[in-house]
Chain A
């Protein structure tokens, strides 16, 4: 029977990893992820998993060891945040280029400088072009569910790509929420036995990993990576539908909240979406058609489906918890690209919020919706990109 528990996001993440019982885990401490890997280390120490743990001397070595272990031919995990993900950056591309199905929870945190340990999305956005699949999670339940589904997606024989599962640092990783856990057997059956592909440990069939590929073939290798990304959406939906059967919880490429007939739409990733939903409810009570689109699969980005979902919106505010200095926020760029080919494009604005753990309050969502209302009424956008929740 599924258990209902009160746990933090990190605890829920660690529990999902315990239930999956991977072969190898390489880990290095970094706030706010540390708590997840130290809980997992506890499972190892107490024999609750069979995992061999490598307590490396840096995140660069964590990802390097994951690459070696995954090429070896088994199920591999790690987890990180912020500077740790930045230090791994070089190896992220290699994990994806070598098509190794590593699963990595990323507990999102701001990047230095200045040093800040709190939640924003700068870390994972910096890794968006690394060839990893990215799943984003609003709360502890979604983080738990996404981690379990990530193994099925990563290891799918048509895909074989690494997956990062993003959840907000502190806001989710360290807050206690209600979470429904599946039974161990249900999770293990869902995830299934690991199926190795070209394992290095098969010494009778030696394989060379990581060749030098010059201009004669490099381009084709990269196109192959582009093409495999095209298969991901279908697999994500197939896995989600199977997951619904064991959990009763439905997942898609993104979540639509009161979106279908919405005139005013906010697009928000992760935890702030929860706050926005409450405010949307208040607006709906007042007869204002507000709605939300919360991306789940950010890489590959489901452009066509998002465009379809925003077809009837009059004005859209894309809220980014990360900045691309001197450019629009990363999520905004995707939404503008997605809506580019619509016959009637909505007005689009970009708000940068919540950097370094700055709270996203209901009043901020309210301000954004008021601005969207005004844009629709006046037919004019004053500023495309703007910081909100700023202390002046």
Chain B
């Protein structure tokens, strides 16, 4: 049994008293998952937080002209470098703390979408993790470049219809499986990696709390529904993220010091169609000629879920 860092239990009463550090007035779309993710992260802790933000929906909608939704120090510099940018801030913190010019405990968080994390920002993220900066990287994964108008990323799921892999008469959407970034980050051998969902907020908040108590680089991948790109109803963000978890499309787990632990096991694994059906981006998969794609998605999920359970079981964490 690996020793697990035990954070305090999460209570709604306690959370409801917290000041919003990501405030109203931002210009994210109605029903977007990203601001919910950010609020849950900032709600999870009382530490002073400094955040960096990759270019993307969250960034362009939260700090425009002379308005900012961030009540914490926040920096956006470019698309591919949220990790390197916060690494710079964190290093300055260590430099000034060493010289006695700062005595506060401050935590550092980078926020990036899947494009800025899986794709263009991957090198910067990998480098920052290897260097051991004391930082938490939060990826809000909505499975495409939503800010530029729903283009495919390496996080786009197999079969999805996007504007650069449109479901056409010859090619039925994205033909490649998504990159499993959470496992890639775990393979960096960093102290803490987790996958979370805003639907399971207590689990997510616990993971953020735990991550912030651990010294060194941490990574949490959070599913973040986008009704514009997913072609779903504006009030379905939490429903869809819950279905992603319950179908085991997006299992909730953590890898702490190399030990894999599944943090939520659905009583009954729901068929993937339940997650896909409410989303217009997968509509074409329900045509008879694309039945093979649905089968393949289910097979991939089954195989990955089994592999994850095996990893947890080998670590004595099942």
Contacts and interface: CB of A to CB of B under 8 A. Distances in A.
B179 to A, nearest CB: 19
A323 B52 CA distance: 38
Nearest to A98: B77
A209 B89 CA distance: 12
A200 B51 CA distance: 9
Contact of B63 (A52, A54, A90, A211): A211
B65 A68 contact: no
Contact of A65 (B60, B91, B95, B99): B91
Contact of B75 (A57, A58, A60, A209): A209
Contact of B91 (A69, A202, A216): A69
A66 B88 CA distance: 6
Interface residues of B, number: 47
A183 B238 CA distance: 64
Interface in B99-138: 99, 102, 104, 106, 123-124, 126-128, 130-131
B71 interface: yes
B84 interface: yes
Most interface-central of A54, A56, A68, A72 (chain B CB within 10 A): A68
B201 interface: no
Given A94-B77, A200-B75, A212-B60, A52 B124 contact: no
B72 interface: yes
Interface residues of A, number: 44
Given A203-B73, A212-B65, A52 B89 contact: no
A64 interface: yes
Contact of B88 (A57, A69, A94): A69
A333 B130 CA distance: 45
Contact of B71 (A58, A71, A201, A206): A206
A203 B85 contact: no
A54 B93 CA distance: 13
A26 B53 CA distance: 20
Interface in A15-56: 23-24, 26, 50-52, 54-56
A372 interface: no
Contact of B76 (A72, A90, A211): A211
B79 to A, nearest CB: 9
B65 A73 contact: no
B78 interface: yes
B81 A207 contact: no
Contacts of B72: 203, 206
A64 B77 contact: yes
A67 interface: yes
A72 B70 contact: no
Interface in B49-70: 50, 52-53, 59-60, 63-66, 68, 70
A69 B64 CA distance: 23
Given A65-B91, A67-B88, A206-B73, A50 B98 contact: yes
A256 B130 CA distance: 50
A55 B60 CA distance: 30
B123 A58 contact: yes
Interface string A197-230: 0001111001111111110110000000000000
A58 B127 contact: yes
B285 interface: no
Interface centre among A69, A91, A94, A213 (most CB of B within 10 A): A69
A74 interface: yes
Given A58-B127, A91-B77, A208-B63, A203 B91 contact: no
A208 B95 contact: no
A202 B74 CA distance: 11
A116 interface: no
Contacts of B48: 203
Given A211-B63, A211-B64, A90 B78 contact: yes
Given A60-B124, A61-B123, A201-B106, A206 B74 contact: yes
B41 to A, nearest CB: 16
B113 to A, nearest CB: 15
Given A23-B96, A57-B126, A216-B65, A210 B77 contact: yes
Nearest to A72: B92
Given A61-B124, A64-B84, A94-B78, A69 B73 contact: no
A24 B127 contact: no
B92 A201 contact: yes
A26 B50 contact: no
A293 B88 CA distance: 40
A53 to B, nearest CB: 8
Contacts of B65: 211-214, 216-217
A91 B81 contact: yes
Given A67-B85, A208-B70, A214-B65, A201 B96 contact: yes
B150 to A, nearest CB: 20
A55 B133 CA distance: 11
A50 B95 contact: yes
Given A54-B91, A67-B88, A71-B89, 17 more contacts: A23-B96, A56-B87, A56-B131, A57-B124, A60-B84, A61-B87, A64-B88, A68-B87, A69-B92, A69-B95, A72-B88, A201-B92, A201-B106, A206-B73, A208-B74, A210-B77, A211-B66
Interface of B: 48, 50, 52-53, 59-60, 63-66, 68, 70-78, 80-81, 84-96, 98-99, 102, 104, 106, 123-124, 126-128, 130-131
The 8 closest A-B pairs by CB, nearest first: A68-B88, A72-B92, A57-B127, A65-B88, A210-B76, A64-B84, A64-B81, A61-B84
Interface of A: 23-24, 26, 50-52, 54-58, 60-61, 64-74, 76, 90-91, 94, 98, 200-203, 206-214, 216-217
16 contacts: A23-B95, A23-B99, A50-B99, A57-B126, A61-B84, A64-B81, A66-B88, A68-B75, A69-B89, A76-B92, A202-B73, A206-B71, A209-B74, A210-B53, A211-B64, A212-B65
